[in-house]
Structure 1
Amino acid sequence: MASTNFARHGRSNKLSWRLVIIAGLSLNLAMLTAATPIRAQPLNPVSEVLAKPADGDSMPARESALKLKLAEVNERLLALAKDDSAKPAVADASEWTEYKRLLNLLANAYESHLDALNKLRASRETHLDFQQKTNAWVGFSESPPYSVEFVDDQWKQVRLKDHELESAQLELDTLQSMMETQRKSFQTSAQNLRKASELLEYAGLEQSEREGWLQELNSLRSQQDEARLAALDTAREVLTENLAYRRDERAFLQRKARVASRLSPLSQQERDQQISKLASLRQELDAEIAQTVTHLHARQQQVQQVREQLRLLRERAIEKPAGAGSPDREGAALQQVLETANIEAEAAESNLKTLRLLVQATVARRQFWELLYRIDNAGDLKTLEDISQEIQKGLQNLALWRKYLRSDLDTARSRLDAQDKRLDNWQAEYGDRPLETRKLIAYTRQETMLKRGVAEADELEARLRSLLDSLQSRSEGASFKERLRLFYSSLIELAGQLSDFELLTIEDKIVAEGREIVGKRSVTVGKVTQILTIFALGLWLISRLTEFGRSRVKHWQASRASAGLLGLRLFGLTAVVGIVVFALISVHIPLTVFTFLGGTLAIGVGFGAQNILNNFISGMILLMERSIKIGDIVEVEGVLSRVTHIGSRCCQVHRFDGIDMLIPNSSFLEKSVTNWTLSDHTLRCSVSVGTAYDSPPRQAMALVERAAAEHHQVMKNPVPEVYLQEFGADAINLRLDFWIDLHVQPNRYRVMSDVRLHIQELFAQQGIAIAFPQRDVHLDMVSPVKVELARLGSGSRQESEKNPKDT
């Protein structure tokens, strides 16, 4: 019994703060419900009921009006008390009882409304005095620096005021919900009053007395609802004023705490002292954990022993013959012992978890002092921002911790209440009372430990929020230079986060000691950027080297130039592959990435880059076969031009009319191409000339051969040759064949023109005429031609017009 009283006493002490809060809220709600002032006058709309002047002079007027209405209602109640026979004949007993009840509620509402007005006046005066006190405060009476305990106490007061604000806001929200419900009730009663007034207006003589009574009853109902609504509105004013007062108190306490923190930064010695205290606390917790572990093991062993006893008892019950006695009572007792041992083991295990959480809390408190030291000695906003992020993460983890502890605490309290009621209403059928008392003690210890955990979580949360407040104060007082530095640091951090963003992962397989080890390598934005940078720089370097090589190759002979271009092409291809491999290795990406991307690349190459690959391979073939070389004169589809460049995709040719063309490399392999300089650079030209039949042919042939031999761009070997080609209808046709070097003169038409002009000059000097087409007409007549002149008459003219052919 003594243990039961102890448990009850401990429980009452632990729940006292909750009971006080619940009782206070209940009293406030009861007061607000009763404090419903009304008006004895006919009902006005809600907007008129709640409308109040904003100035302070309206307070006495409201009090005077309420006192008059209260006196009127009290007079009516006093009259009813003196004359109980005042009940109208048309009213039934229930309606008359309701009428008197409504009058009492109306008087109670007016009184409560007056009390609320007095509270509102007192709250405003208190708030005004506090504002004057706040404005007059210039600092603490003691000189800084202040102790760690003093600064910590200032922040504790801020956190306590936060809880008061939370409770006040909850109370205000509850009152507003009550006002909404009362407003709906008031609207309903006002509607019923209007209906009763309409019925009274159209009622006959026989029904007028009854309808008049109902109209008076509905009017009283409406007045009572109106009074409750007005009282609740005044109570809302009181709570709003109190909430504003508490907010000002909170701001003042925060101001004091910030001043104390700014004037008393945490020193290294103070930090070490707090950490030393935490180390001592950690040792105490370790001792409690060891003791709890011992207790838990003892309870678990007891559970095993009792289970073994139950098993043996069941085996004996099976072997024992029927009617030889029943072991049910012994089994029930063992079962109760087992249940008690299980509950004690569960409670010990819960206490062990809570103690380990308290150990983690000491670590968090140590981190709190480390963060506070960093905040007080931080030199830039970036450090403060990093600390703020750490605190935010800590608060998130702490919220989960508190949720877990509060859930277990509610469960433990429910079990404790149930066990307490079981002991209060003890029955002999419940079994062994001392065992049930042991359960109560186990639940009590579990509740006590969980309350320690919740209190530690609440205190830790308050400390962390105080740190956030200090950080906000430091950030608000930062200079523009510090903010600019913070912006620059944030940009760098954002770039780092973007660089570390993972795009995909690639499996990397290695064989070690005969075993295949599979790992994963991440491909991030930073690695891709680094690869692209290396690749771009490598391509730029390769392009510069190849350009330098091409400039040197241009001065080589054509046969060597093609080999040089082929070497440069192979060097560029090999260098590109090497750069890709080097870029992947430098960022630690395995080459197996091509296994992942191989299918995608194959599809892309197959559909999108097939023409490019075709031209690239064609260019490689042209360079290897040397069928087309730089400087060659080629004819493609009737266009004669000189090859100036053989690229990876196309060849650049220069036409003799000065136009440059880009011809795809594949065209040189797929179409018919005439290379005039494939084997050598000589070209045979032919010039034809006709002489008159009276000119000496051999002299003319000698002159033609002389004209070719005397031209400096006509090759001497092979020598020019002249042929008598044929005897034409008008001339003796001669043909001159001579050879030119295309390297010397690529335009053959210029040489042929010069040779023709020289032939004409030589023929003119020697009197040899160049034949031109001539025709001789011979008339073979048997008789002379008759010529007759005659005048043409009218008849003949008509005949001539009919037959013009005869004319």
Structure 2
Amino acid sequence: MIFRRLLVALLILLLAPLAYAQLALPKQLTTTPKATLPGESASTAALADPRAQAEALLAEARRVQEAERLKDAQTSGEERPTTARQRLLDRLVLLYGERLKLLDELEAMKKSSLETASQKALLAELAGPPPYSAVRTDALRDEYDALREQLKSLASAARALEAQQASLIDARQRAAEAVRLAEDRLARADGRNQVDKDRNNRELAALRRQQAEAELSTIALGLDLVHLKQQKLQPISQEMQRLLAQALPKQRLAKEDFERQQAQLREMLAKVSTEIDRMVAENGKRAAEHTRLAALPQASDPRGATARRLQLIDKQMETDRLSLMTLTWLQGMIQLASDAWGQRYVAFSSDDAATRQAVIVALSQASRDLASREDLFRELQESARIEVRQQEQRLDGAVLDAASAAQESAILDTLKKRVQAYQRVEVAGARLDRQLKRWLDDFGFRAESGGLDNWKLGALQVVQVLKGVWDFEMFAVEDSTHVDGRTVTVAYGVTVGKSIGALALFVVGYWLFSLLSARLQGLMVSRFRVDEQVASVIRRWAMIVLAVVLIIFILNLARIPLTVFAFMGGALAIGVGFGTQTIIKNVISGIIVLFERKIRVGDIIALDGVTGYVTQVDLRASTVRGFDGVEALVPNSSFLENQVVNWTYSNARIRREIRIGVAYGSPVHDAADIVRGCADDHGQVLKDPKPEVFFEDFGDNALLLVLVYWVELGPSLMGRRVDSDLRYAMEKRLGSAGIRIPFPQRDLHVDVSQPLPVRVTQEPDGKPTPADPRAR
């Protein structure tokens, strides 16, 4: 009995601090949260009800918030500014309320299904046996696309929440560290004021930690909600994808469905027409009002009410004009959709590959037309949005009276109508383009068609595209003829196929004529003994004439009249004249060179630093091969405009000279005979005229002799080699005869009759230089 009383007393002593903490809960809320928060023990969290905890935390936070407000009101009669403590409490109330909402949504999400009634109906309908309605298949596609976009949005939200959760974990750790530091400072505080200040700082740090934990808990609940939505939507998406893969190859467009779609499109077209008529009537009223107000004398005042009304009417009339334009575009899109549905019905009703290929061509053209307008729609919409933003800034930044503010607000509403009109057209175009691309995929890659039909369909598409390119008409020309005294005008179209065919015929014909002319040139040279240069000139002129005749023949064969080039006229002639003046000048110069024969193949010429053999003379340029083997293309006009040295013009003989010096005191006549003998013994030195040796001069170091000899140039003769052979022979024979070829010499004469001056210098360290006699 005594033991039991002692045990009870011990329990009372142990539970007394906890009871005191419960009684002091309003003050302890800021430091120690009552409910389970992230970081507390798992056992306590498991035993607690999350929703009950959220309700308790929200109620307690509201109570402490209200108590704080009453305390502040009692402390001071006048209203005080919001303190940091009040802001933290307000934030906690908001976070606990958000947590409660998320818990309710999460609980409701667990008990409900995210599959809508329309989705259930579509899945049940397409789960049956084929064939499947194409209209219902399109509806399932729309649902599937919307579901995929929703899953993408959820995935993006999950990534954002995970990133935010990681940053909040760091923030919670920093807040916990701040609480520990505040408690340490409070434990070391001295004096009542310092204790009160440190206690207040500790309570604020605890509130910030509690806020971080509440935000982290809210983010965790939001992430759970996103993951739960993904888990529930993913099976629905997979089922839709499976049914689409099953239904797409076996879909059919019934006549009733087609007529129903056409009726809906006609109804939409009638609504747009009614809207256009209504807008035209409103625009007419505004135009009449604008005319009436413009005639008033008050319209001249730019700040008056009449001027402001005129400005608003101008904006409204411009908006009406743009809206009418967008409605017209919308009419065209509806008509295009009606035609596309008709093409689709034809493709589903026929099994002919050619028919399906024609449908693909028509749908592809419609898709390209929409794609070409997409950028225009986007640019117009963006410009309208910029005007709206500018008007909003003008309305927010300016200080206006009531009338001006109403005026600017009305203008803003008018500009927003433009954006809505462009958005309407853009949405309609995007939907139609999406449908066209789906249908093209259906008809281009049919699963039930088999490989052979797909191959035929692809071949027909390629043939159709090539045929369209081949028959594309670049331009048309008219040709007039006189028949029985009357003028008959016939139009001819110049297509890509005609142009390619004419070009191919010209290439083949020119190639055949070039082979024939080369054969004829060979016959003229070999059989008729015609000079090769003359035969080349005849061949080139014949090729020019044949090319002109060939062009005229091909143009007539392709039914391309020569009048097609008449429009070029003088402009083409002037342009060709300026562009080809250099070419024509060189061609004419080449003709002159060929006929005059001043320069022929095989001649050795020197022109502008180029020296070598002429290997070819053409109409525009000639080829000169230098002695070093490098070929140079020389324009023919250079032969007529510049000075040309032709070493082989009348004959191939040229004179060459070699200079040699012998030492002073040598027998000059003997040396001359030796040098002349070397020239006489060389086989390529001409005997007539005979080589001669001249005593040219008394040089600084030698007696100068000059050997003058003649050689005949040809393909097998190189003057430099002859000079080298003669120098070798001279050096050998003069050396054998004891005649020395001197090298440059200089004699230095020193006059020693006068004494040389000697100057003694001294180094910086005071020691005499080696030249100083005292240093020895």
TM (normalized to structure 1)? 0.47
**Greater relative contact order structure (CA < 8 Å, 6+ sep):** 1
TM (normalized to structure 2)? 0.48
